[in-house]
Amino acid sequence: MSDYNTMELMISVAARNLEDGASVAVGTGAPCAAAMLAQKAHSPNLVIIFEAGGIAPLLPTMPISVGDSRTFYKAVMASGMCEVMETLARGMVDYCFLGGAQIDMYGNINSTVIGDWEKPKVRFPGSGGANDFGSMAWKIMVITPQDSRRFVERVSFITTPGYLDGPGAREKAGLAVNTGPHKVITNMAVMGFDPESKRMRAESIHKGFSFDDVQENTGFELLKSPDLVETPEPTADELRLLREEVDPNRYIIGR
């Protein structure tokens, strides 16, 4: 396939990481589209969880907020934020999708401030539920543009912990073993994390880009997986589902 755009590629790649029977906490936008695509394409028993309380809905169309009534459509439970956070704390959420203004080599995410805390250059909305999700879900996934201003050597503020400053740091901070950043999906590549150093590494490069292109748009030394490959393109079925059932009005894939 070649008739697809970057957003369709990123959503398709993200969806492939959501296996049948898993649970995923999502917001709106591309993460929600990825969860919907996974549920329709290959993971019919995927449990989608929204921060506002919708648990395991069968989304009819794209919701516009986490509290949209569609996030409760045919759900197994219409709960609230407290119940969702308690579910995370019990270790019952496999994946969460997060975003932010900055991410560093250890997957720490900043959505709070750029610059000094007292006199920042820019102040962002802050955590919301991002710290809870990133601290207590088993695997963190991020969909974001590849940009050296976004991929920085050290975030200005850790809103959501990744691997903090390296191996063992999450555990020392009191977080569960074997949790943390899993995949970072951008317009150029898919990154994972080296199991020993916990540093970000390129795992696949999208068609039309090279590893050097990705490195030039990363503000730190990016490791390279020994099994680096070209990212598989979206299939005809994935594109059909995205365009006809997930986002027919192109709210997300039209960006």
Per the residue annotation, which of 8, 51, 203, 233 is the catalytic one?
A: 51
Cβ atoms within 10 Å of 146's Cβ, excluding its own: 21
Cα of 2 vs its chain's centroid, Å:
24
- Residue spans of alpha helices (H) in the chain: 6-16, 30-41, 81-89, 130-136, 169-172, 211-216, 236-241
- Amino acid (one-letter) located at 180: G
**Tally of CB atoms within 10 A around 154:** 14
For residue 182, the surrounding DSSP H or E stretch is strand 180-185
51 annotated active-site = yes
Q: Comparing C-alpha atoms, which of 80, 78, 15, 71 is closest to residue 48?
A: 71
Q: What is each CA distance from 2 to 12, 44, 74, 211, 236, in whole angstroms?
A: 14, 27, 36, 21, 10
Residues involved in catalysis: 51
